[in-house]
Amino acid sequence: MLGDGILKGMAETARNFFGSYVSKERLTTVEYPEQRIPTAENARVFPFLVYDGTDWEAGMRCVACQICEKECPPKCIYIDKSTDKKPDYVGKPQFYPARFDIDISVCMSCQICVEVCPFEAIKMDTQFELATDDRFGGLLYDRKELSRSNEYYHAIHPTEAAEVDARLAEEKAKVEAKAKAAAEAAAAKAAAAATQPAAPAKADSSGLAATAPEAASLTDATKPAGGGS
């Protein structure tokens, strides 16, 4: 019937409107900021940088590969790669961002930086109360302001953070197993080299091979008596 969809839509709207007077589930607004609705686990606002451990600088996962900087649609990420390296979570020396800024006033919360990061180093925060009267500097966040611990990541996105931890632990176990296998192979090679018999001495002009003590006594015999040179 013509207009069937419109009537159904109006009926649904009316059901929600009148239902909101009697049903708590239909109340979609609260008296913010005194009242707050719990943040959904998959909510996203602006990005933050994840660090492991207690030191944000030492534990920063970002290796300054700059993929996110290149892929960010409005180009609001600014990274300067370090000139030295520091160990990453598996102990491998890696570059780190000497500068990592995000202009939050430009960021459009698209999450592309998160999707393209190969190191699980950047994630989306749920914090939205960021108002400031400093239009420019106040919303340009540096690496320290952007850093949040892995515990914080677990608190706001528990399911996703647990999956990431499992993935990183698996990767770390693989790297450790490979390093252990390489060390064992090197030790076995060294042990095999140590147990190999010494190479036979070179034969002299008569075709006879001399042992080391014999060679020494032969040398002594050719020396002039009295030990002079």
| Residues 29, 56 contacting (CB under 8 angstroms) | no
Backbone φ and ψ for 50, nearest 5 degrees, come out as: -90, 135
- The one among 108, 166, 182, 185 contacting ligand SF4 by CB under 6 A: 108
**159 binds ligand SF4, rule: CB under 6 A:** no
**Residue 117 binds ligand SF4 (CB under 6 A):** yes
CA-CA distance, 66 to 100, in Å (whole number)?
Answer: 10
Which residue, among 37, 39, 84, has the nearest Cα to 63 in the 3D structure? Answer: 84
Can residue 139 be called a binding residue for ligand SF4 (CB under 6 A)?
no
Backbone phi, then psi, for 128, in 5-degree steps?
-120, -10
For residues 48 and 68, is the Cβ–Cβ distance under 8 A? no
Subset of 164-183 contacting ligand SF4 (CB under 6 A): none
140 binds ligand SF4 (CB under 6 A): no
Residue 35 token pair? 């009242």
Q: Is 65 in the site for ligand SF4 (CB under 6 A)?
A: yes
CB of 70 to ligand SF4, least distance (A): 9
Does 127 interact with ligand SF4 (rule: CB under 6 A)? no
Give the one residue of 48, 121, 139, 164 binding ligand SF4; rule: CB under 6 A: 121
Q: Least Å distance between CB 80 and ligand SF4?
A: 11
The stretch near ligand SF4 (CB under 6 A) out of 116-124, 126-134, 152-160, 219-227 is 116-124
- Choose the binding region for ligand SF4 from 63-71, 151-159, 194-202, 209-217 (rule: CB under 6 A): 63-71
For 7, counting Cβ atoms within 10 Å of its Cβ (0-12 exposed, 13-18 middle, 19+ buried), the class is: exposed
Residue number, 20 or 66, with CB nearest to ligand SF4: 66
Asked if residue 76 binds ligand SF4 (CB under 6 A), the reply is: yes
Binding-site size for ligand SF4 (CB under 6 A) equals: 27
DSSP string, 109-151: ---HHHHH-TTS-EEE--------S-TTGGGEE-HHHHEEEHH
